[in-house]
Amino acid sequence: MTTETAEHLAPTEPLAHSRTGLGIWLYCLCALVFAMVVVGGATRLTDSGLSITEWQPIVGIVPPLSEADWQEALQKYRQIPEYQHVNKGMSLEAFKTIFWWEWGHRFLGRMIGIAFLVPFLWFWLRGHVSRPLLPKLLAMFALGGLQGALGWYMVMSGLVDRVDVSQYRLAAHLGLAVVIFGYIQWVALDLGRQGKQELSGPARHSTVLSAAGLIALIYLQIVLGAFVAGTHAGLTHNTWPLMDGAVIPSGLGDMSPWYLNLFENPVTVQFDHRMVAYACALWAAFHAFSVVRRPGGEGASKGALVLLAAMLAQIALGIWTLLAHVPIGAALLHQAGAIVVFAVAVHHLHGLIASRRGDQAFASA
């Protein structure tokens, strides 16, 4: 590659039309990751995650096409503990139901890889990817590959000694998905804000720190939700606001050593998820109040209020899901709502930082 070609392929700053196209592409990737999280939730709720017992990144895209292929897939499933202890005697038709959920989850993961790689090469070869943007996009690709490997690592935990996947690996898998979603969204927001003047005054440093802390707490709550799913904690203590008539339920810290209760005791896991939800609501309310009461920040005030409303709606949805004994539809809405709240929080924080830094902060995006 000549020096002139390299200069063409790595401009210092993308043009406005390039930024628009890149932004649309990245937001489409966000939508696909969002869909991936929801389908992953359905896979977990339908106990479908162990129905495919092999990891074949290339040839695995082709599902069973004949009766013999289906019988072979079912025979492989019969070798794992989940079939032997939970689903023994499962019919082929019932197996197909859980197989298609897991296959769809993996297929969507492969499609996300293609939806990243093909447009990336097109933008790069046409010189629309700037030097500062290139490593950010390559990091997205690396994170996607890591997520695929982590997904298989999670599945492996349920193929030998367990009847389901490890809640630790499940939490790591979901946690990384949220990180990837937030990272793509952040880069897309960077591109969208280039060359735009902020309409409100700069946010205070304390306000930015408050918004960042709230994102961290929301992220923790999402990870705790994975532990709720992984330990089936949502299927017990289906009352609110008390847990079966008590503020501090019995069995809260029965496991030893004590720290195992945080990750393996369903009572403690659900209790923690409730408490962090309340903490999120209080933090969001305090943050919104502190932003609204300061003049000159209309955009920030709107963002803080939208975030508070999204938070309260998500908590209400979580309570409904719990009281209804976790029906799949409500549980999926709750998981999707968590990503929406996270996305609103990321958008809000990005706007606050943009108001402090001005256009100069995004000139190199």
194 burial class (0-12, 13-18, 19+ CB within 10 angstroms)?
middle
pLDDT score of 138: 97
Q: Return the HEC string of the chain.
A: CCHHHHHHHCCCCCCHHHHHHHHHHHHHHHHHHHHHHHHHHHHHHCCCCCCCCCCCCCHHHCCCCCHHHHHHHHHHHCCCHHHHHCCCCCCHHHHHHHHHHHHHHHHHHHHHHHHHHHHHHHHHHCCCCCCCHHHHHHHHHHHHHHHHHHHHHHHHCCCCCCCCCCHHHHHHHHHHHHHHHHHHHHHHHHHHHCCCCCCCCCCCHHHHHHHHHHHHHHHHHHHHHHHHHHCCHHHCCCCCCCECCECCCCCCCCCCCHHHHHHHCHHHHHHHHHHHHHHHHHHHHHHHHHHHCCCCCHHHHHHHHHHHHHHHHHHHHHHHHHHCCCCHHHHHHHHHHHHHHHHHHHHHHHHHHHHHHCHHHHCCC
pLDDT score of 7: 45
Q: Which of 54-58, 89-93, 171-175 has the lowest mean pLDDT?
A: 54-58
pLDDT in tens, 311-322: 999 999 999 999
Q: How confident is the model at residue 235 (pLDDT cuts 50, 70, 90)?
A: very high
Q: What percentage of the chain exceeds 70 in pLDDT?
A: 90
pLDDT score of 201: 61
Q: Give 86's Cβ-side CA count (13 Å radius).
A: 15
Q: How confident is the model at residue 364 (pLDDT cuts 50, 70, 90)?
A: very low
Q: Per-residue pLDDT averaged across 251-265, rounded?
A: 95
State the Cα–Cα distance between residues 357 and 335, nearest whole angstrom: 33
> For residue 194, is pLDDT > 60?
yes
CA-to-CA dists, residue 246 to 191, 225, 239, 253, angstroms: 50, 22, 10, 14
Q: Per-residue pLDDT averaged across 92-114, rounded?
A: 96
pLDDT score of 31: 98
Q: What are the beta bridge partners of residue 243?
A: 246
pLDDT score of 1: 46
pLDDT score of 13: 58
pLDDT in tens, 133-146: 999 999 999 999 99
pLDDT score of 362: 41
pLDDT score of 322: 97
pLDDT score of 53: 94
Amino acid, single-letter form, for residue 248: I
Q: Per-residue pLDDT averaged across 169-191, rounded?
A: 97
> For residue 294, is pLDDT > 60?
yes
> For residue 37, is pLDDT > 60?
yes
State the Cα–Cα distance between residues 65 and 69, nearest whole angstrom: 6
> For residue 263, is pLDDT > 50?
yes
Q: State the chain's mean pLDDT as an integer.
A: 91
Q: What are the beta bridge partners of residue 246?
A: 243
Q: Per-residue pLDDT averaged across 120-133, rounded?
A: 94
State the Cα–Cα distance between residues 327 and 343, nearest whole angstrom: 25
Q: Which of 164, 162, 160, 180 is nearest to 172 (CA)?
A: 180
